[in-house]
Amino acid sequence: MNRKIRLFGSLMMLVGVVLGALGSHVFKSVLPSAALESFHTGLEYLIYHALALLLLSNFEFHSEKRKMIAVYFMVFGVLLFSGSIFLLSFKSLIPINISWMGPLTPLGGFLLIAGWGLTAFNFLKK
């Protein structure tokens, strides 16, 4: 179980570092400043939650099931939150309308909040 959490955290960090490098060297020249700022917001949340997963893998929860639910909330939350921000940052360069992705960002944010809420609840009960 903790091995899977560490794998999620490591893969998310890998993606974060690659996207950070691309953002600093490539995307900086093609994205408008507002889009680049949004991109960096998505990147921050990705990296913060990658680190959080690596840390959470070392903590005991009230039950392993609750731990995995919190982890999945965070993983899917980051995918929706950061992923939609990343794609929406490029909407001026993408030939199709992706504005429909806008509602995915707050849904991802809600999942992140739920994951942290479960984590806090666990620490209160422990």
Dist. CA 107–CA 103, nearest whole Å: 7
* pLDDT score, position 92: 86
What are the tens digits of pLDDT across the range 61-83? 888 999 999 999 999 999 999 99
Residue located via tokens 């009230």: 62
DSSP 96: S
What are the tens digits of pLDDT across the range 94-116? 888 888 888 999 999 999 999 99
Q: Please choose, from the candidates 68, 73, 69, the residue with its C-alpha nearest in 3D space to the C-alpha of residue 2.
A: 68
Dist. CA 52–CA 56, nearest whole Å: 6
Burial, 36: exposed, middle or buried (Cβ in 10 Å; 0-12, 13-18, 19+)?
middle
What are the tens digits of pLDDT across the range 1-55? 899 999 999 999 999 999 999 999 999 889 999 999 999 999 999 999 999 999 9
pLDDT band, residue 56 (cuts 50/70/90): very high
Which pTM does this prediction carry?
0.91
